[in-house]
Amino acid sequence: MNEIVTIKDKQFEKFIEFEQIQAAINRIAEKMDRDLRDKNPVFIAVLNGAFMFAGELMKEVSVPCEITFVRLASYQGTTTTNKVQEVLGLNESIENRTVVIVEDIVDSGNTMVALKEELNKLNPKEIKIATLLLKPDALKQE
C-alpha cells in the first residue's frame, strides 16, 4: 500500500515519487532549452495549480525568458463544468512572441483549448504547451 498524504482535510495516496517528478521537470527543461533557444519565450503559468510546477521548471530552464500568470476556472469544487472563465487575465503583450502555456495537469483539455483560442487572438508567433501530467482517459480535446 502506498503512503497516504494529508493536505488540509483531504487525504491522497502518494502516486509519484519526488525524484520522478524532478526528473520529468529536468527533461522538460532540457527540451525547452533546445527548442526555445534564441526565441525569448514568454511562459504563461495557469494558477493556482501550475504555480509550483512553473517555479521548479523556471529553476531549470536556462534560455532567456519571461513568466506571467493567468487564473482560469473550469471547475466547481472537484467537478469540471466544461465552461472556462478567465478570473485573472494576461497583462503582457504576446504579439509575435513564442508563448509556452505551463499547466500542471491537463484533464479534459477544455481549459487548454479555451486558453489557446484566447491567446491566438493576441497574435503570438507560436503557442506551445508544457504540462507535467496528462489524464488521457479524461481527455476530450486534443
The active-site residue out of 9, 35, 104, 107 is 107
Residue 44 CA to residue 37 CA, distance in Å, equals 17
Distance CA 113, CA 59 (A): 27
Write the DSSP string, 74-94: EEETTEEEEEEEEEE---S--
For cell 509519484, what's the residue? 16
Task: Tell me whether residue 107 is one of the annotated catalytic residues.
Answer: yes
Q: Are 86 and 72 in contact (CB under 8 A)?
A: yes
- Characterize the bridge pairing of strands 4-7 and 42-47: unpaired
Alpha helices (H) along 36-135: 51-60, 110-120
Q: Which residues belong to the active site? A: 107
